[in-house]
Amino acid sequence: MKFGVFDHVDRGSAPLAELYEGRLRLSELYDRAGFHAYHIAEHHSTPLGMASSPGVLLAAVAQRTRRLRFGPLVYTLPLIHPLRALEEICMLDQLSNGRLDVGVGRGSSPYELGYFGVDGKTSSKLYVESYQIILQGLQSREINFEGEMFRLKDVPVVLECIQKPHPPLWYGVSNIDAVPWAARNALNVVCQGPAARTRAITDLYRSEWRQAFGDSASMPLMGLGRHLMVADTASEAREVARRAFAVWYGSLKHLWLAHGHSFSHYPIPEDFDAACQAGIVIAGTPDEVTAGLRREIERSGVNYVLTRFAYGDLGLQESVHSLDLFVSKVMPEFAAGMA
């Protein structure tokens, strides 16, 4: 079992400069504690994501850490030209001495895509062709591509990654139909929502992976995201987590409500108690969080947990205290299975 961190870098109550510095200080702690990777989201025109240019923040993370892997989860490919994405990927991998993980996706919000003039009719094509161009550029010194959205001829590739043939790739799986493609292409995957729903995805992924690669190859990571709050008492943990989760969820649904639509499609319930009951929020003492994580790992079948220690209006010291308790009292319970 490996532990990583996922972060929307959502807006709390602190000034932006303070928010960014807090995330960088937390990345240093993740690095020292032995977390596998720090993954950040890309969002636009919404309080859900203040890392709208994830490469900028990640370049700073590269300089503040030494062992921690990191990367976007995900680059919203329809919103960036594939050549620009390719160059940024190469630069970040070089700046970090080969510690970059790259998540790619089509984008989860139609409103964010719409602000950039991209609609659902073209976003899938933009995503697929961009992904193909980036992969070609990571493995070749020249790009030649003829598609519906992009036509590139004799484009020289002068940058390169340290990791060959390319950095580890990630994909967010919300639809089980995408699992065979992800497994056959050896992509690491991450899931949200209840463990039972995730179990169907991990079972199919293992089956497809073994058919494609056999039992001898090392299986990619299958991750499950969970909000955590570890405190000295259960009541304190739940009180703090309840407050911060409400702020985070408000940011999550912000654009849907701003456009006059309901927000009922997301696999994480808005009600805090329901989210705890579903195992999506795990708040309590170190022993309670350990038990909750064991339960979620067993039910979901994952081999990677993406923890969240900074969300909503949590102050830096609240996040640090929760992280300290997790590192000192929860992580050792899983140490036998950690890299």
pLDDT attached to residue 216: 75
Please write the tens of the pLDDT for every residue from 5-44: 999 999 999 999 999 999 999 999 999 999 999 999 999 9
Rounded CA-CA distance 299/301 in Å is 6
Indicate which CATH number applies to the domain containing 61.
Answer: 3.20.20.30
Please write the tens of the pLDDT for every residue from 251-280: 999 999 999 998 888 889 999 999 999 999
Please write the tens of the pLDDT for every residue from 296-308: 999 999 999 999 9
Q: How confident is the model at residue 151 (pLDDT cuts 50, 70, 90)?
A: very high
Tell whether 93 is covered by a domain. Answer: no
Q: How confident is the model at residue 73 (pLDDT cuts 50, 70, 90)?
A: very high
Tell whether 306 is covered by a domain. Answer: yes
pLDDT attached to residue 338: 46
Q: Across residues 243-257, what is the average pLDDT?
A: 97
Tell whether 248 is covered by a domain. Answer: yes
DSSP classification of residue 330 = I
Predicted structure pTM score = 0.96
pLDDT attached to residue 215: 83
Q: Which domain holds residue 256?
A: 2-73+169-337
Q: Which residue has the higher pLDDT, 217 or 122?
A: 122
Return the residue matching tokens 């705890």.
276
Closest CA to 251 of 237, 236, 268, 235: 268
Tell whether 200 is covered by a domain. Answer: yes
Q: Across residues 190-211, what is the average pLDDT?
A: 95
Tell whether 101 is covered by a domain. Answer: no
pLDDT attached to residue 336: 60
Tell whether 188 is covered by a domain. Answer: yes
User: What is the tally of structural domains in the chain?
Assistant: 1
Per-residue pLDDT at 339 exceeds 60 = no
Per-residue pLDDT at 247 exceeds 80 = yes
Tell me the Cα Rg of the chain: 19
Q: How confident is the model at residue 334 (pLDDT cuts 50, 70, 90)?
A: very high
Q: Across residues 194-218, what is the average pLDDT?
A: 93
CB neighbourhood size of 91 (10 A)? 16
Q: Which residue has the higher pLDDT, 336 or 211?
A: 211
Tell whether 156 is covered by a domain. Answer: no
Please write the tens of the pLDDT for every residue from 220-241: 999 999 999 999 999 999 999 9
Q: Across residues 56-81, what is the average pLDDT?
A: 97
Per-residue pLDDT at 337 exceeds 80 = no
Please give the sequence-ordered ranges of beta strands (E in DSSP) within the chain, or none if there are none. 2-7, 37-40, 69-72, 75-76, 102-105, 142-146, 151-156, 169-172, 188-191, 222-230, 281-284, 304-308
Please write the tens of the pLDDT for every residue from 78-98: 999 999 999 999 999 999 999
pLDDT attached to residue 1: 85
Tell whether 295 is covered by a domain. Answer: yes
pLDDT attached to residue 120: 81
- Taking CA atoms, 149 is separated from 76, 83, 209, in Å, by 16, 13, 31
Closest CA to 54 of 98, 97, 6, 14: 6
DSSP per position, 103-136 = EEE--S-HHHHHHTT--HHHHHHHHHHHHHHHHH
Range with the poorest average pLDDT among 83-92, 141-150, 245-254, 330-339: 330-339
